[in-house]
Chain A
């Protein structure tokens, strides 16, 4: 196996409160290999989002550390439960944002290329208010990918979508992931979603979050709808379900 791109060791996050601090994450350690797709699964309040915020560099760890191999300052692409598009920018301008901030020259053409990849061609000049939930999430995904990030962090990106759109987005995401070859850490509370997408699933326990199970998902790719009805899928799902409860 290749060298890990991301090493999390003994990570603990404590939020200060009046009662000696709220322990959100407790002694979490894991490694992520390049181009691996990891899902972090757990009940609400298990610190999944906190973990993602630490990985994104938005929150310093209280104890322990996060190392990014030889990348000192990894490029991060992030997508959230809400699309978080800037309403005053068109789709194209939203997708361009990361390149603009980095001062890249060919922002326009790369943005058009990615908008095409996520299937939003023709909507470049629309305002976010004109997009459906699924379309907005596609745009957010394009924005998260455009600056060729070392690490893609997804925080329940399909949580606010309806079931049909969500399943369509799963296929889209795994297709894009195979084209772009990104390392992904995705937070979710859906067992199906994690088994459909991930190479590995980390199950966090309820607060404080600890790694309860590190499950390798050895389902063949590309995965489609039918894989959910295979006995192996069922076996893995039961394992995850047992770990969550």
Chain B
């Protein structure tokens, strides 16, 4: 399989139509509570008062379902007769969280993992963007690099993580490296696809205006490739959290992955839950930041597909 073939297969037809946008829209719909609007319209005509009442409640539905889930969990833990090291109740997790927060250890581990994620993400994105641009511009480079890029995708990163920890030690560097590597490919692919998707007619326009190479890059290629590039960044941001945790599982003395290992070893399952929730919060925040950037930067795109 050539890289180009691989790219074509993942290449979106529309500018927003990358793989993740479906999931993204799904999240947006859940977040805004706008699920299945068509049925509502039909309902509107028959029984307007009830639908209206449901619609006004809609923003709270997500909250309600979360609360119900917690309650169910609490009940299952209390009534199920399971010991706390198998399934701690939410209340136990909460008090474990307070303890870990009070002695500051939780935030130290969070800080370490966050630093690994951010540095790794930044490094991976920077390398992937530069290389992706060059690959998009040069068939020669694409042909030279294709076997490595495809092979790097075939090797599961989880499998080589131990190797990286052996080589680069259990410190933060090996985790940053794993993050960067896991982020690298989706960002690279989307950069290549994004740059190749720049309409040729706009190159003609810039050429007829005698635009310089830099002007073509900044005024045409960057903004035109941005929607697809940001789609890759969104995937990369989510993957970077996985990368850091995988690295910490393999060997570390700090970080949330390490904390999960410690909790497991000491049958402190509540601590495992605390670390998991901390990871979820971090992943969602990261995703939210990228989504916010997308919304700000792509304000010119049609928004009708979301509503």
Of the residues A78, A88, A100, contact of B205 by C-beta under 8 Å = A78
Please, which residues of chain A bring their CB within 8 A of the CB of B101?
Answer: none
Please report the C-alpha to C-alpha distance between residue A58 and residue B215 in the assembled complex, in whole angstroms: 17
Q: How far does the Cβ of B228 sit from chain A's closest Cβ, in whole Å?
A: 13
Tell me whether A97 and B207 are in contact (CB under 8 A): no
Please, which residues of chain B bring their CB within 8 A of the CB of A241?
Answer: none
Please, which residues of chain A bring their CB within 8 A of the CB of B202?
Answer: 84, 86
Q: Knowing A82-B201, A101-B215 touch, does A58 contact B302 (C-beta < 8 A)?
A: no
Please report the C-alpha to C-alpha distance between residue A100 and residue B211 in the assembled complex, in whole angstroms: 10
Q: How far does the Cβ of A200 sit from chain B's closest Cβ, in whole Å?
A: 23
Of the residues A80, A89, A97, contact of B209 by C-beta under 8 Å = A97
The answer to whether the Cβ of A8 comes within 8 Å of any Cβ in the partner chain is: no
How many chain A residues touch B (CB < 8 A): the figure is: 24
Please report the C-alpha to C-alpha distance between residue A89 and residue B202 in the assembled complex, in whole angstroms: 13
Tell me whether B210 and A73 are in contact (CB under 8 A): yes
Q: Which of B206, B208, B223 has the most CB of A within 10 A?
A: B208
Tell me whether B300 and A87 are in contact (CB under 8 A): yes
Tell me whether B207 and A58 are in contact (CB under 8 A): yes
The answer to whether the Cβ of B122 comes within 8 Å of any Cβ in the partner chain is: no
Tell me whether B300 and A78 are in contact (CB under 8 A): no
- Measured CB to CB, the nearest residue on chain B to A73 is B210
- Measured CB to CB, the nearest residue on chain A to B226 is A88
Tell me whether B201 and A88 are in contact (CB under 8 A): no
Q: Mark B191-233, 1 if CB is under 8 A from A, else 0.
A: 0000000010110111111110001000110011010000000
Tell me whether B207 and A56 are in contact (CB under 8 A): yes
Of the residues B201, B207, B298, contact of A84 by C-beta under 8 Å = B201
Tell me whether A58 and B223 are in contact (CB under 8 A): no
Q: How far does the Cβ of A136 sit from chain B's closest Cβ, in whole Å?
A: 13
B interface majority secondary structure: helix
Of the residues B207, B219, B223, contact of A57 by C-beta under 8 Å = B207
The answer to whether the Cβ of B301 comes within 8 Å of any Cβ in the partner chain is: yes
Q: How far does the Cβ of B99 sit from chain A's closest Cβ, in whole Å?
A: 50
Tell me whether B219 and A58 are in contact (CB under 8 A): no
Interface residues on B, range: 20 to 34
Please report the C-alpha to C-alpha distance between residue A76 and residue B210 in the assembled complex, in whole angstroms: 9
- Measured CB to CB, the nearest residue on chain A to B201 is A84
Q: Knowing A56-B208, A87-B300, A127-B300 touch, does A101 contact B219 (C-beta < 8 A)?
A: yes
Q: Knowing A53-B204, A82-B201, A84-B199 touch, does A101 contact B209 (C-beta < 8 A)?
A: yes
Please report the C-alpha to C-alpha distance between residue A73 and residue B209 in the assembled complex, in whole angstroms: 11
Tell me whether A76 and B208 are in contact (CB under 8 A): yes
Of the residues B209, B220, B298, B302, contact of A86 by C-beta under 8 Å = B220
Q: How far does the Cβ of B25 sit from chain A's closest Cβ, in whole Å?
A: 19
Could you show 26 A-B contacts with beta carbons less than 8 Å apart? A53-B204, A56-B204, A57-B208, A58-B207, A58-B208, A73-B210, A78-B205, A78-B208, A80-B201, A80-B204, A84-B199, A84-B201, A84-B202, A86-B202, A86-B219, A86-B224, A87-B301, A88-B224, A88-B298, A88-B300, A97-B219, A101-B211, A127-B300, A129-B301, A147-B209, A153-B208
Residues of A within 8 A of B (CB): 53, 56-58, 73, 76-78, 80, 82, 84, 86-89, 97-98, 100-102, 127, 129, 147, 153
Nearest 10 pairs between A and B by C-beta? A78-B208, A56-B208, A88-B223, A88-B300, A76-B208, A84-B201, A58-B207, A127-B300, A101-B211, A98-B209
